[in-house]
Amino acid sequence: MIGHLRTWPIVLALSILSAPLVLMYAYLFIDTVTNSPPRSFIPNEFTLEHWSFLWETRPGRPSIWRVTLNSLLFATSTSALVIVVSSMAGYVLSRLNVPGRAYFLAGVMVLHAFPAITLIVAIFLVLQVVGLYNTLIGVILVKAAIDMPLGIWLMKGFYDTVPWEIEMAGIQDGASRFTVWRKLVLPQVKPGIFALGLFAFLLGWGEFILPQVLAPSGNAQVLSVYLAGLIADDNNFDMNLFKSVGLFYMMPVLILFFFFQNRLMNIYGGGSKG
């Protein structure tokens, strides 16, 4: 009980401090399903008109479902690419005696520290030359490449915790190096792969700059670009529509977090507990 008395001032202070945030989120939601008279915070009618973007496509804009599908494709593909490459590269860097391993690791680290935005002009030119500008594939490749250094380092860290003897035992048991990796080592780093996949998915889902620059229009547009298009449109500016789309955009992320938050924490734990 004493503990309770001691902590209530802190709880109060925190409540007051976070009230603006809570209000912001509350209004984000409330505004998408109501209308308020001008200059008032109190809504006076319930409406679904702000969500109408779900069933009717606005003139001059792609269908929301097309864009959502693009976002989904973009996030899952980058995540899959990052998982596949990192889980292999991480293993090689952790276990095999590759020449120049230390330099490679340092190089990967530098790449990770490099702000992707500084490369964007060069990437833009490259994509144009190879004909992947304004395609989903092009931007997927770029995004995956940018996420990969972190993924490789992370997976190397997970592999480093797997005891060396397990692999030797597998080899003695007659398994090839690849089978050992597939059947014995990979299962030990499953938590890492899962966390990395989720992480890469969320990064892909939230990515804005790359698609905006490299695949801005038409069939390749993703949700973040669509959303930005709304706010940039001076002719028919609609704040509530913007909020509705924003909420729609956030939903998958919230759901993922809700279900997988524990697994996601693993990325910081880095252990082989699963």
Partner 1 sequence: MRILLDKFSKSFGDVRVIEDMTLEIKDGEMLALLGPSGCGKSTTLFAISGIHKVTGGRILFGDRDMTGVPSQERNVGVVFQSYALYPHMTVADNIAFPLRIRKLPEAEVKRQMEEMANLVHIEALLNRRPAELSGGQQQRVALARALVRRPNVLLLDEPLANLDAKLRLEMRSEIRRIQLETGITAILVTHDQVEAMSMCDRIAIMNAGQIIQIATPQEMYRNPRTAFVAGFLGSPPIAFIDAVANNGMLTVEDADIRLPVPPNAETPPDGTPVIVGIRPENLGRDGDAPVRGRVSFVETQGRENLYDLTLANGRVLRSIQRVSDDVSLNDEVEWRVRSDQLFLFSQNGERL
Task: Determine, following the binding rule CB under 8 A, whether residue 101 of this chain makes contact with partner 1.
Answer: no
Task: Determine, following the binding rule CB under 8 A, whether residue 227 of this chain makes contact with partner 1.
Answer: no
User: What residues does 242 pair with on adjacent strands?
Assistant: none
Task: Determine, following the binding rule CB under 8 A, whether residue 171 of this chain makes contact with partner 1.
Answer: yes
Interface pattern 126-165 for partner 1 (x via CB under 8 A): -------------------------------------x-x
Is 157 exposed, middle or buried, given 0-12, 13-18 or 19+ CB atoms closer than 10 A? middle
92, 175, 203, 227: which one binds partner 1 (CB under 8 A): 175
Task: Determine, following the binding rule CB under 8 A, whether residue 173 of this chain makes contact with partner 1.
Answer: yes
Distances (CA, A) of 210 to 90, 124, 140, 150: 26, 9, 9, 18
Q: Which of residues 46 and 164 has its CB atom nearest to partner 1 in the complex?
A: 164
Task: Determine, following the binding rule CB under 8 A, whether residue 176 of this chain makes contact with partner 1.
Answer: yes
Q: Which amino acid is at 6?
A: R
Interface pattern 183-212 for partner 1 (x via CB under 8 A): -x--xx------------------------
Q: Which of residues 184 and 227 has its CB atom nearest to partner 1 in the complex?
A: 184
Task: Determine, following the binding rule CB under 8 A, whether residue 179 of this chain makes contact with partner 1.
Answer: yes
DSSP 27-64: HHHHHHHEE--TT-SS--EE--GGGGGGTSPPTTS--H
Task: Determine, following the binding rule CB under 8 A, whether residue 271 of this chain makes contact with partner 1.
Answer: no
Q: Which amino acid is at 263?
A: R
Report d(CA 34, CA 38) in Å as an integer: 13
Q: To which H or E segment does residue 95 belong?
A: helix 64-95
* In the complex, minimum distance from the CB of residue 172 to partner 1, in angstroms, rounded to a whole number: 5
Is 72 exposed, middle or buried, given 0-12, 13-18 or 19+ CB atoms closer than 10 A? middle
Task: Determine, following the binding rule CB under 8 A, whether residue 174 of this chain makes contact with partner 1.
Answer: yes
Binding residues (CB under 8 A) for partner 1: these are 163, 165-166, 168-176, 179, 184, 187-188, 272
